[in-house]
Amino acid sequence: MLAWTQAATAACALAAIWYDVRYRRAPNGLVLLTAALAALLLFVSQPLWPGLTWHMAVLSALVGLAVFALFYALGWMGAGDAKFFAVTGLLAGPVGLGIVWVVASVLGGLHALAITLGGRTLQAARGRGIPYAAYMGCGILLLLWLRPGIEAAQH
């Protein structure tokens, strides 16, 4: 059985997946809810990434926001994606954020390839976009699945 912390984290990740695939948005309410969850998990010493401290979580969130704000400014990413990535840093810390970024980038790249192989250009598909927050949600679910092994390796 999942602990409430894992269930709540999975619920936020699944909400991001569903909402971004359905509407191609990461709504502010979901971003704020996930940020509140991350803060609560840190407060009760049950972060998604074992051993994550407040200062590392906040630093990871700031780095995530800075990187994706640049992508947003270049028009490569939506604002919701940038905010959700920052919250993912708060939730998962630096190593977890890196893992989520790799997962989301691979899935996003496969999505772009499928669009291209389907005969459409990325420019033509731009109105629909790639659901990057959804793919970050997949990365968060992967971290939840890997967490027992990570905890065992740290001890």
* Burial of residue 137 (number of CB atoms within 10 Å: 0-12, 13-18, 19+): buried
DSSP helix, strand, coil percent of the chain (3-state; round to 5): 80, 0, 20
pLDDT in tens, 9-46: 999 999 999 999 999 999 999 999 999 999 999 999 88
What is the pLDDT at residue 33? 97
Q: What is the mean pLDDT of residues 133-154?
A: 90
Q: CA-based Rg of the chain, rounded to a whole angstrom?
A: 15
Task: Kindly compute the dihedral angle of the four CA atoms of residues 68, 139, 131, 79, in this order, to the nearest 10 degrees.
Answer: -30
Write out the two tokens for 18: 């569903």
Q: How much of the chain, in percent, has pLDDT values that exceed 90?
A: 71
Structure pTM?
A: 0.91
The three-point CA angle 92-97-103 to 5° equals 120
- Longest Cα separation, the chain: 50
Domain assignment of residue 29, given as a range:
4-154
For residues 104 and 92, give the distance between their C-alpha atoms in angstroms, rounded to a whole number. Answer: 14
What is the pLDDT at residue 76? 87
Q: What is the mean pLDDT of residues 129-136?
A: 94
For residues 121 and 128, give the distance between their C-alpha atoms in angstroms, rounded to a whole number. Answer: 12
The answer to whether 48 and 92 have CB atoms below 8 angstroms apart is yes
Domain total for the chain? Answer: 1
What is the pLDDT at residue 55? 95
pLDDT in tens, 64-103: 999 999 999 998 889 999 999 999 999 999 999 999 999 9
Q: What is the mean pLDDT of residues 49-72?
A: 94
